[in-house]
Structure 1
Amino acid sequence: MTDAPEAGDHFAALYRLASVDGLPLGDKIDRAIEVGCERLDVPNGVLSYTADGEYEVIKSTINEGVYAPGGRSDLERTWCRHVIEDRELLSFADVAESAYADDVAVEATGISCYIGAAVVVDNETYGTLCFSSEDPRETGFTDIERRFVRLLAQWVSYELERDRHHRELREQNERLDEFVGIVAHDLRNPLGTVQGYTDLALESAEGTQADHLRRIERAADRMERLVNDLLRLARDGGDVGERVPVEVAAVARDAWSFFDNGEATLEVHSDATVYANRSRLQQLFENLFRNAVEHCGPTVNVAVRDTEDGFTVADDGPGLPVEIEETLFTPSFDRGAGIGLGLLIVERVVSGHEWEASVHSDAGGTTFTFDGVEHVGGEPQLVAGDSRG
Structure 2
Amino acid sequence: MLPMVDLTAQYQVLKEELNEAVLHTLANGQFILGPNVEDFEKEVAAYLGAQYAISVASGTDALHLALIAAGIKAGDEVITSPFTFIATAEAICYVGAHPVFVDIDEKTFNLDTNQIEAVITPATRAILPVHLFGQGANMERLQVIADQHELLIIEDCAQSFGAEINGKKTGTLGFTGCFSFFPSKNLGCYGDGGLITTSSEEIAEHLRVLRNHGSSKRYHHTELGFNSRLDELQAVILRVKLKYIDQFNQARNQIAQQYTQTLINLPHCIPPYKEAGNTHVYHQYTLLSAYRDEIMKAFTEQHIASAIYYPIPLHQQIVFKQKYQDVHFPVSEQIAKQCLSLPIFPEMSKPQIEQVLNVVQGVLLGK
After TM superposition, the score normalised by the length of structure 2 is 0.20
Larger radius of gyration: 1
Q: Which structure: greater strand fraction? A: 1
Structure 1 length normalisation: TM-score? 0.20
RCO comparison, higher one (Cα < 8 Å, 6+)? 2
